[in-house]
């Protein structure tokens, strides 16, 4: 067994020792068979949530009403879901009711795609009821059962099909494509948060161009926030786009497709967090600075280190001719005379003291802004006396 499975083994063994059926299931089995890095380990079992709570000391009831708990073991989290079949999906978000079942067979049947409906026991035996392994070998995404019904049950699966094609480079089976075409209009009712979660993974996928081709060809953009009102935007996404691992980068890309649509419109429509909004705003500002003045010390000074990689990816995507590198950014960073406003050798109080007759007001901040820009640009030395002298010769205009 591969390392992540080894680590989860004690959890699985304990469940098994108490007489329950238990398997590794879903993405981890798929990625293991594909020799891809294994993400989260998901476990499926005949044990009910209450029974798991009795067995383990650290159980978090994350989705207990759907039969899912998280078991903490040696600093890892394992999502453990009781074998179940789903009821109808009237809210297109969660099934209305779940029914627990004893065998894994029915549980695998409710899963979206054949490549995600594989289970593996502790000995490494694979349970493959829907020819998922052959679809893995042939790089095919195909629904478990009738696609039309499965997409109707939960239209998010349509987007999931595209995001797996983007992550794995797989082709969607022609029948499944046909079923997507039939059901796609039902994506209208989907919760935005669910769409955003899948699109975050789609844009981060190694084969993002492949995934976006499906978004185009299957006209999925007609059901996406903002794009639904502006269909043609989708064609402006650069054809040579590379993976964007963070959604704040995607927000910037979206905004640059048409600058008359404010960044905030995208942030709200795709229900992004404040953190994503702030990162996207900063990146937008620096990309505009790059466009106006090239790669200046001021730009690097304003850009937090944590956003360097995002900035580089976005410049490659939006201004491929500029070809900004990490070395360039780090080299400019090294030559910066200050790293933040507080490093300026003259304070707000010093400025007030220089002009005792002036009433305090926004002019103090404005003057500090000016000093900051000049110091960063190397036009003024960061020296108390030199700065003071400069202000004396360039007094603020107060009316």
- Residues annotated within a binding site: 27, 30, 40, 42, 111, 154, 157, 160, 163
**Is the Cβ of residue 4 or residue 381 nearer to ligand ATP in the bound state?**
4
User: Which runs of consecutive H residues, i.e. helices, occur in the chain?
Assistant: 3-17, 27-33, 49-55, 104-109, 132-137, 147-153, 156-168, 174-183, 192-204, 208-217, 247-257, 263-269, 274-293, 297-302, 308-318, 326-335, 348-354, 363-376, 384-393
Calculate ∠ Cα 176-177-180, nearest 5°.
Answer: 85
Which of 2, 9, 10, 40 is the binder for Mg ion (CB under 5 A)?
40
14: tokens are 């304990």
In angstroms and rounded to an integer, the radius of gyration of the C-alpha atoms of the chain is 27
Q: What is the DSSP letter of 66?
A: G
The piece of 37-45, 175-183, 204-212, 329-337 that touches ligand ATP (CB under 6 A) is: 37-45
Query: Stretches 34-42, 124-132, 172-180, 352-360: which one binds ligand ATP (CB under 6 A)?
Result: 34-42
Any contact of residue 116 with ligand ATP (CB under 6 A)?
A: yes
Contacting range for ligand ATP; rule: CB under 6 A; set: 149-157, 233-241, 309-317, 350-358: 149-157
Number of residues lying near ligand ATP (CB under 6 A): 13
> Least CB distance from residue 174 to Mg ion, whole Å?
27
Rounded distance, CA 166 to CA 146, Å?
Answer: 23
111 interacts with ligand ATP by CB under 6 A? yes
CB of 41 to Mg ion, least distance (A): 9
User: What separation in angstroms does the CA of 273 have from each of 111, 191, 299, 361, 362?
Assistant: 29, 16, 24, 33, 31
Q: Which of residues 19-38 bind Mg ion (CB under 5 A)?
A: 27
Q: Which of 39, 189, 361, 378 binds ligand ATP (CB under 6 A)?
A: 39
* Residue number with CB closer to ligand ATP (39 or 348): 39
Residue 84 touches ligand ATP, criterion: CB under 6 A: no
200 versus 315: smaller Cβ distance to ligand ATP: 200
> Nearest to ligand ATP by Cβ — which residue?
27
Is position 27 an interface residue for ligand ATP (rule: CB under 6 A)?
yes
Nearest-5° angle of CA 161, CA 159, CA 33? 30
Residues 320 and 316: their CA atoms lie apart, in Å, by: 4
Q: Which is nearer to ligand ATP, 201 or 255 (CB)?
A: 201
Q: Which does 205 bind (CB under 5 to 8 A by kind): ligand ATP, Mg ion, none?
A: none
d(CA 128, CA 119): 7
Alpha-carbon span 41 to 88, nearest angstrom: 27
Q: Tell me if 175 contacts Mg ion by CB under 5 A.
A: no
Of 40 and 288, which has the nearer Cβ to Mg ion? 40
Location of structure tokens 């937008």: 284
* Residue 90: CB atoms within 10 Å: 10
Residue 160: which of 105, 214, 81, 232 has the closest Cα? 214
Instruction: For residue 284, give the nearest of 307, 268, 306 by alpha carbon.
Output: 307
Binding-site residues for Mg(2+), please?
A: 40, 42
Least separation in angstroms between residue 215's CB and Mg ion is 22
In the block, tokens 């049950």 appear at 153
Asked if residue 193 binds ligand ATP (CB under 6 A), the reply is no
Can you say which residues are annotated as belonging to the binding site for ATP?
A: 27, 30, 111, 154, 157, 160, 163
Binding residues for CTP: 27, 30, 111, 154, 157, 160, 163
Q: Based on CB atoms, which residue is closest to ligand ATP, 112 or 372?
A: 112
- Least distance from ligand ATP to the Cβ atom of residue 41, Å: 9
Tell me which residues in 150-179 interact with ligand ATP (CB under 6 A). Answer: 154, 156-157
Per residue, the 3-state secondary structure of 207-265, as one string, reads CHHHHHHHHHHCCHHHHCCCCCCCHHHHHHCCCCCCCCCCHHHHHHHHHHHCCCCCHHH
Binding region for ligand ATP (CB under 6 A): 26-27, 39-40, 42, 111-112, 116-117, 154, 156-157, 201
Binding region for Mg ion (CB under 5 A): 27, 40
């Amino acid at each position: 067994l591969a390392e992540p499975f080894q680590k989860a083994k004690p959890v699985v063994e304990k469940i098994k020792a108490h007489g329950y059926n238990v398997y590794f299931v879903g993405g981890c089995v798929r990625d293991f068979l594909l020799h891809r890095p294994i993400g989260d380990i998901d476990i499926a079992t005949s044990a009910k949530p209450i029974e798991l709570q009795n067995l383990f000391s650290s159980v978090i009831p994350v989705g207990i009403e759907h039969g899912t708990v998280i078991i903490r073991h040696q600093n890892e989290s394992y999502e453990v879901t009781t074998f179940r079949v789903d009821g109808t999906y009237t809210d297109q978000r969660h099934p209305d009711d779940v029914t627990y079942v004893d065998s894994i067979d029915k549980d695998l049947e409710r899963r979206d795609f054949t490549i995600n409906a594989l289970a593996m026991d502790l000995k490494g035996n694979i349970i493959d009821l829907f020819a998922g392994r052959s679809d893995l070998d042939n790089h095919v995404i195909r629904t478990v059962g009738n696609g039309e019904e499965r997409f109707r049950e939960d239209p998010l699966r349509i987007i999931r099909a595209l995001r797996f094609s983007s992550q794995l480079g797989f082709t969607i089976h022609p029948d499944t494509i046909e079923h997507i075409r039939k059901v796609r209009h039902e994506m209208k009712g989907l919760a935005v948060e669910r769409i955003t979660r899948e699109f975050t993974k789609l844009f981060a996928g190694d084969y993002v161009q492949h995934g976006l081709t499906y978004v185009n060809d299957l006209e999925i953009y007609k059901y996406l926030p903002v794009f639904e009102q502006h269909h043609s935007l989708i064609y402006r996404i650069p054809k040579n786009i590379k993976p964007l691992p963070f959604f704040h980068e995607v927000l910037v890309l979206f905004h640059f497709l048409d600058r008359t649509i404010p960044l905030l419109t995208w942030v709200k429509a795709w229900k992004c967090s404040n953190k994503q909004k702030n990162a996207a705003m900063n990146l937008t500002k620096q990309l505009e600075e790059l466009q106006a003045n090239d790669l200046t010390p001021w730009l690097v000074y304003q850009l937090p280190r944590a956003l360097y990689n995002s900035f580089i990816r976005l410049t490659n995507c939006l201004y491929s001719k500029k070809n900004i590198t990490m070395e360039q950014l780090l080299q400019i960073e090294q030559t910066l005379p200050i790293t933040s406003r507080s490093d300026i050798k003259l304070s707000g109080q010093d400025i007030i003291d220089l002009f005792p007759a002036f009433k305090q007001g926004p002019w103090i901040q404005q003057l500090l802004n000016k000093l900051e820009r000049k110091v960063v640009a190397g036009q003024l030395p960061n020296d108390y006396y030199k700065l003071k002298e400069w202000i004396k010769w360039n007094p603020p205009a107060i009316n």
